[in-house]
Amino acid sequence: MHIHFSFATPSLLLKQFEAKNQIYKPIYSALSFAHFSNDHELVPILEKKKNDTLQYLHTMQTIYDCNKGKVPRAQLYILQSVIEHITVELQWLNTLLKDAIAGRLSEVAIDEN
């Protein structure tokens, strides 16, 4: 069976490509007020978030690997983008967790890389 997707107009598809990205993560709101909390209380929460993110990364990599050669390249680019974003998120969480463990989340200065 062949499934055919049609868009109301080709311009609708093009508008989707041009749409601005909206990024919202609840952790950003929480971090805005982290200086009111105890860093060490955040450590187990951040560790869980890190572990969940790592599991999500493994899941998406498996999905990508299982679909190589089976789906159009455009769809693989979606998975590739998700994997790259998760990888960066994981690096960011590792840095955040390291600072929480060190009790540095309320410090005003930031280390320059």
Residue 45 to residue 43: CA distance in whole angstroms: 5
CA-wise closest residue to 40 among 107, 105, 92: 105
Distance from C-alpha of 112 to C-alpha of 100, rounded to nearest angstrom: 17
pLDDT in tens, 57-71: 999 999 999 999 999
Distance CA 5, CA 77 (A): 19
The per-residue pLDDT for range 29-67, each reduced to its tens digit, is 899 999 899 999 999 999 999 999 999 999 999 999 999
**Entry pTM:** 0.79
Spell out the residues 6+ positions from residue 68 whose beta carbon is closer than 8 angstroms to its own. 76
Answer left, alpha or beta for residue 103, where phi above 0 means left and psi between -120 and 50 means alpha.
left
Q: Which residues neighbour 30 within 8 Å (Cβ) at sequence distance 6 or greater?
A: none
Q: How many CB atoms lie within 10 A of CB 42?
A: 20
CB-side exposure of 77: number of CA atoms within 13 Å?
Answer: 3
